[in-house]
A and B are shown apart, each in its own frame.
Chain A
């Protein structure tokens, strides 16, 4: 059996799964330290399954968390970081962090260094690596108390040699340094890859503390099995890997809820709406996977080139504040995790979207008598407004005018009825309240490769085969059961304007976690 956990902004959800069957689920308010809310949810979960002995019966715990994204968005808990770029004299026109918001650059100390090294597209060195400068830099950083370094070499996704050598030199000269190499993080596109690598470095200290806290918390519950964190592409990484690459957790929340929705509903092509406590996320499923966003995605105001799900978020959730004056308004502010204290139906004083749903007969929760005084016409208008907000968002995400299945998940799914414009059918599968924890629990492991191949030296078929094999090998190394590994993505982009036949090939393979 497995346990899936989703640490959201409002609630922490936990689900116990036996194969494809949901055995039990529980929700608890998220706490600032993450582990408090997680432990509360786990206790509530295991209380429902008295026959389960965690140490014996649970084979894996999968956790999805927005903790690291929030640290970047809030500019809090980030470590001072040195951004080392290998490429001089090339790239000098656009130094590290050149297009960052000032407050984020300041939050990590704004240290950027450009030194000689890096490669051309065809693998030649731009210049030999300046090893002497790297050793000096290591000493300087140690003196300044800097512990996190990102190393980004020009064309390292094609030729990682200088990044690897630079990391070895830095670690050797200053054993306390934590070094992130950009070729382990992202793809071709220097600025975006470097940005993600720097963010990763600034999060590594927090990730170390966090994974240790999670490990201790799980051990305290006798959950001695391995645990994993969800990545932005919906696959898993183990705890040791997550401690090194926290940036890969960005956007895993929406991915998990969409994968969970696809799993629960069996819908492969359609729209998923996850209505939480504060916001709703709308995304589109293609072949059962979230449709990805375009070329670059901003996180906390910084461009990265991660593959992220294309999700439209807006301020509608179970805790959204409803105002009558000066005119009807809904959100975007929310009582959040204090819903069960502050909403009218729970004895509070604040009119929320959940109260409207109870008054309109859409939901059953708390004490309906406490909203009996609400004007029916007003409640009807509010319900209509919420529906319009959702319909607009659904229309925005659709690729064609034809109606498509809409899967509602998340605790706030009760806010709307079963009639939505643009929907061929509105589905609320069983256990949809915890779709994202389920998405975490069913996640697979993957391997990716991106490399530039010279097709004047080898055939296209041979290049594709080599890339496929390497992706499969990486998936296996990440823990996938070999028989379950499938290639899910192959992308070829010829490098334009070059007489040689250089082509960039990107392949992703995924498989089920080996038992």
Chain B
């Protein structure tokens, strides 16, 4: 058990940004928002999954919508808490603990705010181990935890409960429509589960992982050590490519920002990364035009500033940036055949099988 400090927030914001793999929104605003709570003497208590009783009532808490909107229409502040209360009223019991739905990007911090607001403990785990664009891409969902009842709350305190929808994709569609109708951001609480289910299906230790990644980056910056090596030492990943961005192509299809970024190294070798909000597939392009996959979803493909180690989200990709591409193996919970149906290459429209980073990337 530990309590979040202002210093933890600095680290978590960096680590969660890297684990966002290009999407999930920038955690900066969440960090500042949570820091105000800490300054006022309120903070979140973090508990380990193994300390959650089997019969505990656990709820997944997060924010859904467009990160770009989130930079402009800042939160009222109680959206997630209001959604949690609405859900609790609906199911007739209080949550004993909450779990972050998504550790990557801005959703790493939203549950901490709720923890500070109402004192409910936050579990050091999440349902993605990274960022994904859609609600059903959660370990709880593909292991059979029902997404509904699901509560959504707007910045004006309006709430809605989605109930008895069996198809996870339909939950995503309906929830997103509601969120867009309310300004494209909504606090969300759902996936009611037992402590036993949380322990069986959640990805443990990811809040700590985000903090440790951030601490490693900060320490390496202070000592002028190799920032990328520090990240990889914590995450067990490998360096896939270093170069500068020479082209960014974007298009919007079915509500998602899709596109491709091309990097060129000093030796003229190239790397292309396709993204749909998050980075999905990285390929090395040899001078003769032949291609080789370096990493593919759900493994994490993280683009960071070569010098500062700051994560570069897909919105920030632009010509001339010098970046390093890091590959980090996805948690084992995302690599099962069942999980890959939801978060593997085919779920994103690629007619190819998942192959783990350790096999495709060669020696890092």
A binding-site residues for B, Cβ under 8 Å: 87, 89-94, 98-99, 118, 120-121, 124, 126-127, 154-155, 188-191, 286, 291, 294-295, 396, 399-402, 455, 492-504
Q: Tell me whether B347 is interfacial, beta carbon within 8 Å.
A: no
Stretch at the interface among B204-212, B253-261, B294-302: B253-261
Q: Could you say which residues of chain A place their CB within 8 Å of the CB of B155?
A: 89-90, 126
CA A501 – CA B252 in complex, angstroms? Answer: 6
The one of A154, A155, A190, A500 that contacts B180, using a Cβ cutoff of 8 Å:
A500
The 4 closest A-B pairs by CB, nearest first: A93-B77, A494-B252, A499-B255, A91-B74
The one of A294, A295, A497, A503 that contacts B66, using a Cβ cutoff of 8 Å:
A497
A400–B73 touching, CB < 8 Å: no
Q: Could you say which residues of chain B place their CB within 8 Å of the CB of A495?
A: 66, 68-69, 184, 252, 257
Stretch at the interface among B28-36, B233-241, B324-332: B28-36
A188–B74 touching, CB < 8 Å: no
Q: Could you say which residues of chain B place their CB within 8 Å of the CB of A504?
A: 68
CA A493 – CA B251 in complex, angstroms? Answer: 9
CA A493 – CA B65 in complex, angstroms? Answer: 16
If over half of B's interface residues share one DSSP class (helix, strand or loop), that class is named, otherwise mixed; here it is mixed
A189–B244 touching, CB < 8 Å: no
CA A269 – CA B48 in complex, angstroms? Answer: 54
A503–B252 touching, CB < 8 Å: yes
B binding-site residues for A, Cβ under 8 Å: 23, 29, 32-33, 36, 64-69, 71-77, 113, 133, 155-157, 176-177, 180, 183-184, 244, 250-252, 254-257, 266, 277, 305, 307, 314-316, 320-322
The one of B32, B67, B74, B157 that contacts A497, using a Cβ cutoff of 8 Å:
B67
Q: Could you say which residues of chain B place their CB within 8 Å of the CB of A399?
A: 244, 320, 322
Q: Could you say which residues of chain B place their CB within 8 Å of the CB of A90?
A: 73-76, 155-156, 183
Q: Could you say which residues of chain B place their CB within 8 Å of the CB of A502?
A: 252
The one of A89, A94, A400, A503 that contacts B33, using a Cβ cutoff of 8 Å:
A94
CB distance from A459 to the nearest CB of B (A): 13
The one of B33, B68, B73 that contacts A126, using a Cβ cutoff of 8 Å:
B73
Q: Could you say which residues of chain B place their CB within 8 Å of the CB of A493?
A: 68, 250, 257, 315
CA A129 – CA B137 in complex, angstroms? Answer: 39
Q: Could you say which residues of chain A place their CB within 8 Å of the CB of B133?
A: 497
Apart from A120-B183, A495-B66, what 9 extra A-B contacts exist at CB < 8 Å? A90-B156, A91-B76, A120-B184, A121-B73, A126-B156, A154-B74, A188-B68, A497-B64, A500-B180
If over half of A's interface residues share one DSSP class (helix, strand or loop), that class is named, otherwise mixed; here it is loop
Q: Could you say which residues of chain B place their CB within 8 Å of the CB of A498?
A: 66, 69, 180, 184, 255
Given contacts A291-B320, A497-B277, contact A91 B75 (CB under 8 A): yes
The one of B32, B65, B73 that contacts A155, using a Cβ cutoff of 8 Å:
B73
Given contacts A91-B75, A92-B77, contact A99 B69 (CB under 8 A): no
CB distance from A508 to the nearest CB of B (A): 15
CB distance from A392 to the nearest CB of B (A): 12
The one of B177, B252, B316 that contacts A294, using a Cβ cutoff of 8 Å:
B316
Task: Tell me the nearest residue of chain B to A118, going by C-beta.
Answer: B73
Given contacts A94-B32, A497-B66, contact A121 B74 (CB under 8 A): no
B76–A93 touching, CB < 8 Å: yes
Q: Could you say which residues of chain B place their CB within 8 Å of the CB of A401?
A: 266
CA A372 – CA B132 in complex, angstroms? Answer: 69
The one of B67, B305, B322 that contacts A496, using a Cβ cutoff of 8 Å:
B67
Q: Can you give 26 contacting A-B residue pairs, CB < 8 Å?
A: A89-B155, A91-B73, A91-B74, A92-B76, A92-B77, A93-B33, A93-B74, A93-B75, A94-B74, A126-B156, A127-B156, A188-B72, A189-B71, A189-B72, A191-B74, A294-B321, A399-B322, A494-B250, A495-B252, A495-B257, A496-B23, A496-B67, A496-B256, A496-B315, A497-B67, A499-B177
Q: Could you say which residues of chain B place their CB within 8 Å of the CB of A494?
A: 250-252, 257
Q: Which residue, of A399, A455, A500, has the highest number of chain B Cβ atoms within 10 A?
A: A399
CA A167 – CA B113 in complex, angstroms? Answer: 34
CB distance from A365 to the nearest CB of B (A): 37
Q: Could you say which residues of chain B place their CB within 8 Å of the CB of A188?
A: 68, 71-72
CB distance from A248 to the nearest CB of B (A): 21
Given contacts A294-B321, A499-B180, A500-B255, contact A190 B74 (CB under 8 A): yes
The one of A93, A190, A496 that contacts B72, using a Cβ cutoff of 8 Å:
A190
Q: Could you say which residues of chain B place their CB within 8 Å of the CB of A154?
A: 72-74
B32–A98 touching, CB < 8 Å: yes
CA A292 – CA B262 in complex, angstroms? Answer: 19
CA A190 – CA B29 in complex, angstroms? Answer: 11
Task: Tell me the nearest residue of chain B to A156, going by C-beta.
Answer: B72
B73–A190 touching, CB < 8 Å: yes
B315–A499 touching, CB < 8 Å: no
B157–A89 touching, CB < 8 Å: yes
Q: Could you say which residues of chain A place their CB within 8 Å of the CB of B29?
A: 94, 191
CA A94 – CA B67 in complex, angstroms? Answer: 16
Q: Could you say which residues of chain B place their CB within 8 Å of the CB of A91?
A: 73-76
Task: Tell me the nearest residue of chain B to A94, going by C-beta.
Answer: B74
CB distance from B68 to the nearest CB of A (A): 5
Q: Could you say which residues of chain B place their CB within 8 Å of the CB of A127?
A: 156
Task: Tell me the nearest residue of chain A to B266, going by C-beta.
Answer: A401
CA A190 – CA B256 in complex, angstroms? Answer: 22
Task: Tell me the nearest residue of chain B to A497, going by C-beta.
Answer: B66
The one of A87, A295, A492, A501 that contacts B73, using a Cβ cutoff of 8 Å:
A87
Q: Could you say which residues of chain A place their CB within 8 Å of the CB of B254?
A: 499
CB distance from B7 to the nearest CB of A (A): 16
CB distance from A310 to the nearest CB of B (A): 9
A497–B244 touching, CB < 8 Å: no
B314–A496 touching, CB < 8 Å: yes
CB distance from A11 to the nearest CB of B (A): 32
Q: Could you say which residues of chain B place their CB within 8 Å of the CB of A396?
A: 307
Q: Could you say which residues of chain A place their CB within 8 Å of the CB of B252?
A: 455, 494-495, 501-503
Q: Could you say which residues of chain B place their CB within 8 Å of the CB of A118?
A: 73
Task: Tell me the nearest residue of chain A to B255, going by C-beta.
Answer: A499
CA A20 – CA B250 in complex, angstroms? Answer: 40
Q: Could you say which residues of chain B place their CB within 8 Å of the CB of A120?
A: 73, 183-184
CA A188 – CA B156 in complex, angstroms? Answer: 22
